[in-house]
Amino acid sequence: MLHDISVPVRVGTPEWPGDAPFTCGWTARIAGGSSVNLSCVGGSPHVGTHADAPLHVRDDWPATDALALEAFVGDALVVDVSDAAGGALALDANDPRLGGVTRLLLRTGRTIATGRFPDGWPVLRAAVAETLAARGLRLLGVDAPSVDERTSSTLDAGRYELIAPPQRLVGLDAAPVRAVLRSP
């Protein structure tokens, strides 16, 4: 069974405060006499479900088109942390559930899918992220606007297959993805 965990993107989907909102329109319509319908979209690639490239946080690091596709397809562990308050998560890098995990998805319950940008959300401590990366973590996903502090569908915690390659947008700091989990 496939579970679409992507945030639907439409006009009004919340963007990071100060970022460019999603826009869409039509450049041609059959109803207006054109032979085809042609749509156009605009806005930040950070609106909705997306993959941040290292370029997002450092000028000299790789852009989205350099991201390894293998990081976005394969076994993933979903951990429900929705009962956590804002601030650092009480998730320990030595948690036995995290052994051998290369793709970790945290369900915080602070998603923009509600149509509102949340005031705050729980974040993974840098030391935990660094330890997990040293142990082979290749992808960290959250349903919140960021893995850092500001300055989805209901899904059971457990193991899934993740399929979420980013669009091949050259030279950008983020790219939209259609994130899907497959039940084992």
Q: What is the CATH classification number for the domain harbouring 54?
A: 3.50.30.50
Q: What is the pLDDT of residue 146?
A: 77
The residue range of the domain holding 8 is 2-182
Residue 46 burial (10 A CB sphere; 0-12, 13-18, 19+): buried
Percent of the chain with pLDDT over 90: 73
56 is catalytic: yes
Q: How many folded domains does the chain comprise?
A: 1
For the segment 149-161, what is each residue's pLDDT rounded down to a tens digit? 666 455 788 999 9
User: pLDDT tens digits for 87-96?
Assistant: 888 888 899 9
3-state secondary structure the chain: CEEECCCCCCCCCCCCCCCCCCEEEEEECHHHCCCCCEEEEECCCCCCCEEECHHHCCCCCCCHHHCCHHHHEEEEEEEECCCCCCEECCCCCCCHHHCCCCEEEEECCCCHHHCCCCCCCEECCHHHHHHHHHCCCCEEEECCCCCCCCCCCCCCCEEEEEECCECCCCCCCEEEECCEEECC
Which residues, given as ranges, of the chain have pLDDT below 50?
Answer: 152
How far lies 73's CA from each of 50, 109, 134, in Å?
A: 14, 23, 20
pTM here is 0.88
What pLDDT score does 123 carry?
86
